[in-house]
Amino acid sequence: MASGVPMQTVLITNDDGIDAPGLQYLALLLVRTGRYRVLVCAPDSDQSGVGHGISWRNALSAKRFDLEGTTAFAVSGTPADCASLGISGELFDGIIPDLVISGINVGSNCGYHIVYSGTVAASREAFMYGIPSIALSYHWERGKSNVDDLRLAAEACLPIIHAVLTELKNKTYPEGFFLNIDVPTDVPHHKGFKITKQGKSMIKIGWKQTDTNASGIESYQTANMDLDSVTDTEKNAGSTISSEQLLFKRVVKQYGFDLDGAEEDIDFRALHEGYIAVTPLRALSHMDVDAVPHVKSWLMRIASSSSL
């Protein structure tokens, strides 16, 4: 770094929580490049699947967190809260980051899952306030993946991070989108980067009545654990269930979508084929132009009948 030239600042957040290995691998990787000032503002607990929820009524707590080479805070809020607080200048003594990176998430965020994703929401929140951002996710597969794959995923995405920050420094990075990046399961043998668009893939979820509070959702904490081997005592630890209380848990009905006939540039297909899927996203939901004639006709009928 040339003398007198300030280091660029990267803010890292996530939805898996500040103690998640994906976030920590990414932060330490960026610190050890020696090229960036690294700030961390992430949830103090797992906030997976909360979407773009924000905290409104209650104040948030921010507690310093020890993470090598960074200035880090664990925050009692959602991923969107953390991104908002981190870019506000209030938490980091007036410092506004050049780039926000959310991740690395355990589990891909393609298709309709983007709506649920706290990882993507944090990047979207930064984008809506004018800060360039990237969401990073790894396509975890039970029985195939291990925690070290999150480190490899961070390393695989480093060229994109460097490229974005170089363009930001040169003032050549375009506005109007943020990046959603999904890394395939077999990281060491990925086929390179592929520009994609959001598809319609999703895990179809149903409900099943249960007698335990235990979650069947895999996260970095349970990634290498055989959930079926957990005893009933362990499952019910810390929970008291009354006879009048009904418990229901989410169960997976169908995973993903049929790849046959799917367009080549759909995010989940590219990921399935071993590419790192790079999807530029906007924050707006666009009008469905094909629906306009039908909606217009029944609005006119409603107007006519209401005037009688």
DSSP string for residues in 247-268: EEEEEEEE-S---TT--TTBHH
Residue type, 300: M
* DSSP reduced 3-state for 152: helix
Q: How many residues does the chain have?
A: 308
pLDDT at 153: 98
- Whether 109 has a pLDDT exceeding 80, the answer reads yes
pLDDT at 204: 78
pLDDT at 243: 67
The CA-based angle 11-17-21, given to 5 degrees, is 85
Q: Two tokens at 157?
A: 């995405």
- Whether 251 has a pLDDT exceeding 90, the answer reads no
Peptide bond into 104 cis (omega under 30): yes
The strand pairing partners of 42, in sequence order, are: 74
- How far apart, in whole angstroms, are the C-alpha atoms of residue 134 and residue 177? 10
pTM over 0.85: yes
More confident residue, 240 or 135: 135
Q: What is the CATH number of domain 8-197+263-281?
A: 3.40.1210.10
Q: What is the pLDDT of residues 42-76, one digit of tens each?
A: 999 999 999 999 999 999 999 999 999 999 999 99
- How far apart, in whole angstroms, are the C-alpha atoms of residue 273 and residue 279? 15
Average pLDDT of the residues of the chain:
88
Q: What is the pLDDT of residues 77-97, one digit of tens each?
A: 999 999 999 999 999 999 999
pLDDT at 118: 96
pLDDT band for 259, please (50, 70, 90 cuts). low
pLDDT at 165: 98
Give, in order, the Cα–Cα distances in Å from 165 to each of 13, 68, 101, 162, 169: 17, 22, 11, 5, 6
- Whether 33 has a pLDDT exceeding 80, the answer reads yes
Burial 135-164 (b: 16+ CB within 10 A, else e): bbbbbbeeeebeeebbbbbbebbeebbeeb
Give domain limits for the chain. 8-197+263-281, 204-254
The fraction of the chain above a pLDDT of 90, given in percent, is: 68
Q: Two tokens at 196?
A: 């994609």
* Distant-in-sequence, close-in-space partners of 275: CB < 8 Å, separation ≥ 6: 184, 190, 191, 192, 193, 194, 196
Strands 8-13 and 99-106: parallel
Mean pLDDT of 290-296: 88
- Whether 215 has a pLDDT exceeding 70, the answer reads no
